[in-house]
Amino acid sequence: MEPRVLTDLDADTAAAVHDLLAAAGAADGADPFSEQFLLTLRAGGARDGVHHVVAPGATRAVAGYAQLDGEYAELAVHPDERRRGLGTALVEALEGLVADPHVWAHGDLDAAKALAERRGYRRDRVLWQMRRPLGDPLPEVELPDGVTLRAFVPGRDDEEFLRVNNAAFDWHPEQGGWTGRELAARQAEDWFDADGFLLATDRGGTLLGYHWTKVHPATADEPAAGEVYVLGVDPAAHGRGLGRVLTLAGLHHLRDRGLGTVLLYVEADNAPAVRVYERLGFTVHAADVNYAR
C-alpha cells in the first residue's frame, strides 16, 4: 500500500506513531524527531501547513511516518520494517507535497546519508549537540554594570521575551518568528520551570537577553542532564558580554540543581557561538543534519 497523507491523526494512529518513534530511537541511539515536531504530534497534529505521511508495513499499520511542517520534515521507519523501501516511499510522498523538502536526520546516521544520496539531497545545515561536565570548575558570573538577573514571570514577561527572541533569531527557521502559541506550548510541558528561565534586564527593566534552561529526566540509559535550551540576546545589547554571562548563570543554576552534565544545540557554522561554548568547556557530542536539494 502507498503511504497516506493526512492533515491530522486519530488517537490510535498517533499512539502507533509514538510507539514507532520510541522503537526507532532505541535502535538508533538518537531520537528521530525534534521537540517542535513532537509538540505538533502530541497536540493531535492538526495545524496549518502540517501534513502527516503514514506508511503501512508487513506487520503493522504504521511502519513509517513523516511529518511536514511548511518545507521542513522529519521521518522515521520502524526497525523491524527497514530495508523494504519505506524510507524512499516517505521521501517521495514529501516531494509530492512540496517541491524542495528540507529533511532532518537526527544522529547523522549512515542509513540517512545513503537515502539522501540516492534521492539527490545534500547537507544543507548541521546542528551540533555539545556537552560539558558540570563537575568541572565554572567561572563566576560577573554582571555588567546596570544589569540584573531574575527569573521569568509567566504572563508578565511573555511579550518582552517574544520581542527579544524574535530579534535575536530573525534568521532562524525554527526559533525565529515565535508567537504566544509557541511559548504557551512549551510552558505547558512537564519540564517547564520558570526558576530556570533566567532574564537579564537593564536598570529600567527592559529585557536585554535570556537563558532558558531545561532538565531532561533520567532514563534507563542516561542520568538526568541539563540543557541550554535557548539563549538569546537583543541585537541592540550586543558587545556587552551578555552571551557569556547568561550562559554561565544558567550553568550555575543547573549545577546547583545537582546535575552532572549539560548539553546544548548550536548551528555548526555559527562560529562566534561555537567559540563561546568551546571556551566554556563544551565539546561536540553528536550531530543532526538537514538535507535539501
Per-residue confidence (pLDDT) for residue 58, from 0 to 100: 86
> Which of 98, 120, 142 is where one domain is finished?
120
Asked which of 26-35, 39-48, 108-117, 217-226 is least confident by mean pLDDT, the reply is 39-48
**CATH code, 19:** 3.40.630.30
Same domain, 113 and 156: no
Average pLDDT of span 84-104: 97
Per-residue confidence (pLDDT) for residue 45, from 0 to 100: 67
pLDDT digits (tens, 9 = 90+) for 62-76: 999 999 999 999 999
Per-residue confidence (pLDDT) for residue 225, from 0 to 100: 98
Number of domain units in the chain: 2
Same domain, 160 and 79: no
Per-residue confidence (pLDDT) for residue 17, from 0 to 100: 97
pLDDT digits (tens, 9 = 90+) for 250-272: 999 999 999 999 999 999 999 98
pLDDT grade for 172, boundaries at 50, 70 and 90? confident
Contacting residues for 43 by C-beta, under 8 A, at least 6 apart = 185
Same domain, 79 and 155: no
Per-residue confidence (pLDDT) for residue 20, from 0 to 100: 98
C-alpha–C-alpha distance, residues 28 and 118, integer Å = 21
Average pLDDT of span 139-147: 96
224 occurs within a structural domain: yes
155 occurs within a structural domain: yes
Per-residue confidence (pLDDT) for residue 272, from 0 to 100: 87
In the predicted structure, residue 78 carries a pLDDT above the cut 90: yes
Same domain, 139 and 176: yes
In the predicted structure, residue 93 carries a pLDDT above the cut 90: yes
In whole angstroms, how far apart are CA 264 and each of 26, 37, 85, 278, 284? 21, 18, 34, 12, 10
Residue whose C-alpha cell reads 541539563 in the numeric block: 226
C-alpha–C-alpha distance, residues 279 and 154, integer Å = 33
Same domain, 90 and 54: yes
Q: Give the whole-number percent of the chain exceeding pLDDT 90.
A: 92
Mean pLDDT of the chain: 95
Residue 79 and residue 27 in contact, taking contact as beta carbons nearer than 8 Å: yes
Which of 291, 290, 292, 293 shows the shortest CA–CA distance to 127? 290
What is the DSSP-derived secondary structure letter of residue 195?
A: G
Residue 252: strand, helix, or coil: helix
C-alpha–C-alpha distance, residues 46 and 3, integer Å = 18
> Which of 120, 147, 174 is where one domain is finished?
120
How many of the other CB atoms lie within 10 Å of CB of 274? 17
Q: How far apart are the first and last CA of the chain?
A: 27
47's torsion region: left (phi>0), alpha (psi -120 to 50) or beta?
beta
pLDDT digits (tens, 9 = 90+) for 201-253: 999 999 999 999 999 999 888 899 999 999 999 999 999 999 999 999 999 99
> Which of 101, 120, 139 is where one domain is finished?
120
C-alpha–C-alpha distance, residues 200 and 247, integer Å = 11
How many of the other CB atoms lie within 10 Å of CB of 136? 9
pLDDT digits (tens, 9 = 90+) for 100-142: 999 999 999 999 999 999 999 999 999 999 999 999 999 999 9
Strands 261-267 and 283-292: unpaired
Same domain, 136 and 281: yes
The residue segments making up the domain with residue 45 are 4-120
